[in-house]
Structure 1
Amino acid sequence: MLWQYCWGHSVYHLTRWFPRNNRLKIRIVMMIFTIALLIPQFFVLAEPHTERFCGQHLFEFLVVSIVYTFCMIGFSFIFSLMDPVPWEVKFAFHIFGVITFVTGIVFTFFTSMAAECKVTTPELYYFSLAAVVITVVSLVFFAIVLPFWVINWWCVNSVLDYKNRDGICYEPANCCSCVWHI
C-alpha cells in the first residue's frame, strides 16, 4: 500500500511546480483525482462477491487500504495548501510512509498466495493484484531515490543544494524536482 505514500509525495511536488499565486486550479484537480481513488475501492467493497470467503486476508487489506486512502487524502490536502509544510507534518507523513511500506510488503505476500481467491472473489483478487503492482512500482521508485536522500542527509547539500546551485544531482533534480525530497 506504498502507493498512498507515493501519491501524497507526488501531490506535494506537483503543486509546487506552479507559482504560489496560481495554485488553485491544480489543487482542485489534484483533490478530485485524490478523492476519486476511493471509487474503485468502494466499488470492490460493495460487490456481492466480496463477501465470499477468501483464504487470504484480502478483504481486511481492502478495508485497510480505504483507511490509508483517507489518511492520504488528508496529507494531500495539507500538502497542497500549506507552504511551507511544518516539520511535524512531514515527520508524521514519513511515519505513514513506513507503515504503508510494511503493510504493502505483507499485502504483497498475501496476494501472491491468494490464487484460489481468483475464483471465489474475482473483483477483490484483481483489485489486490493491481494494488500490489502499483505498490511494487512505488517501491522501486523509492528504492532508487532513497540512497540519494540518505547521502544528502548524511553529507548535507552534497547531493542537492538549490541555494548554491550545486551537488551531483542538481541538474536532474532541477529538471524534474518531483523525484526529490518532501
Structure 2
Amino acid sequence: MWWFLFPHCMYHLIRWFPKNNRLKIRILILLLSVGFLLPQFYVLLVEQSSRYCGQHLFGLLIASIVVTFVMLGFTFLFVLMDPIPFEVKFAFNCYGGLTCILGVLFIILSSLATECQNNTPILYYYSLATAVLSGISIGIYALLLPFWILNRLYRNSVLDKKGRTGICYEPVNCCSCIWHV
C-alpha cells in the first residue's frame, strides 16, 4: 500500500511551497518517483528471479511494476494540478483499495515464501521489503480511517479548517499533511 501513501504524501508536500516557487521540488519529486522503478526492473532482469519459487512472488513483482507506473501517474497529477478534480480523487481512492489488496498479498505470500530465500534471494528480499512497507502504510491508514469516517458521518466534527474547530484541529493545524487528499 506504499504505492498509495507516496502520492498522498507528495500531494501534501508540494502544497507546503508557494505556488510560484514549486519548480525545483516538482523536479525532485518526479525524479524520486521514477527512481522507484529502478530496483524493480533490476529484480525483474536478474536471471535468478525467474527460477521456480513455491509462492507467486514473480507475478507479484510484475503487478508491483504495473502499480508503480500508476503511482507515477497519480504523483505527476498531484504535483502538477491544483486543485484536484473530484474524478481524480475518486480514481485515486479506488486505486488505494487495489494497492491495499496488493499489499496484503505481498505480506501473506512473503511470509509463506521462506523456501524462496534460497532459490530466488533477490526476489524474496524485494518482496519482503515491499511487504514491510505495505504493512507500515496499512498501519498508518488504519490509524487515520476512524477519523475520516467520523468526519464523513458528522460533518466537520473532526476537522473544520474554516471554522477552526474539531477534535483534530490543533494537531493538524500546522501539519495538515496527516489529514487527507
What range is the shorter-chain TM-score in? over 0.9
Partner of 1:127, secondary structure, is: helix
Per the alignment, residue 121 of structure 1 pairs with 120
Query: Hey, what's the Cα distance between the residues in 2 that align with 1:173 and 1:21?
Result: 24
Question: In the TM superposition, what whole-angstrom CA distance separates every residue of 1:22-77 from its partner, at most 9, and x where no partner exists?
Answer: 11111111111111011110111111111111110000000000000000000000
The residue type paired with residue 22 of structure 2 is: R
**Which residue of structure 1 lines up, in the alignment, with residue 138 of structure 2?**
139
Partner in structure 2 of residue 10 of structure 1:
9
Matched residue type, 2:74? F
Report the CA distance between 1:169 and its aligned residue. Answer: 0.6
- Please tell me the root mean square deviation across aligned C-alpha atoms, in Å: 0.7
Say which SS state the counterpart of residue 175 (structure 1) adopts. Answer: coil
Whole-angstrom distance in 2 between the partners of 1:23 and 1:167: 31
Specify the SS of the correspondent of 2:28. Answer: helix
Aligned partner of 2:69 in structure 1 is 70
**Unaligned runs of at least 5 residues, structure 1:** none
Q: C-alpha separation between the residues in 2 aligned to 1:150 and 1:28?
A: 35
What's the CA shift string for 1:139-169, capped at 9, x where partnerless? Answer: 1100111111111111111111111111111
What residue in structure 1 maps to residue 175 of structure 2?
176
Task: Flag as ranges the 4+ runs of structure 1 deviating above 6 A.
Answer: none
Q: Which residue of 2 aligns with 1:152?
A: 151
| Counterpart check, 1:111 vs 2:110 | yes
Q: Which amino acid aligns with 1:159?
A: V
Provide TM-score, normalisation by structure 1: 0.97
Instruction: Tell me the equivalent position of 2:20.
Output: 21
User: 2 CA distance for matches of 1:163 and 1:28?
Assistant: 32
Note the residue ranges of structure 2 that are not aligned, 5 or more in a row.
none
Separation in structure 2 between the aligned mates of residue 129 and residue 59 of structure 1, nearest angstrom: 13
Q: Which one-letter code corresponds to 1:29 in the other structure?
A: L
Give the Cα separation in 2 of the matches to 1:89 and 1:135: 23
Partner of 1:56: 55
Q: Percent identity?
A: 53
Number of residue pairs matched by the alignment: 181
CA displacement at 1:175 relative to structure 2: 2.1
Question: In the aligned structure 2, how far is the partner of 1:19 from the partner of 1:166?
Answer: 25
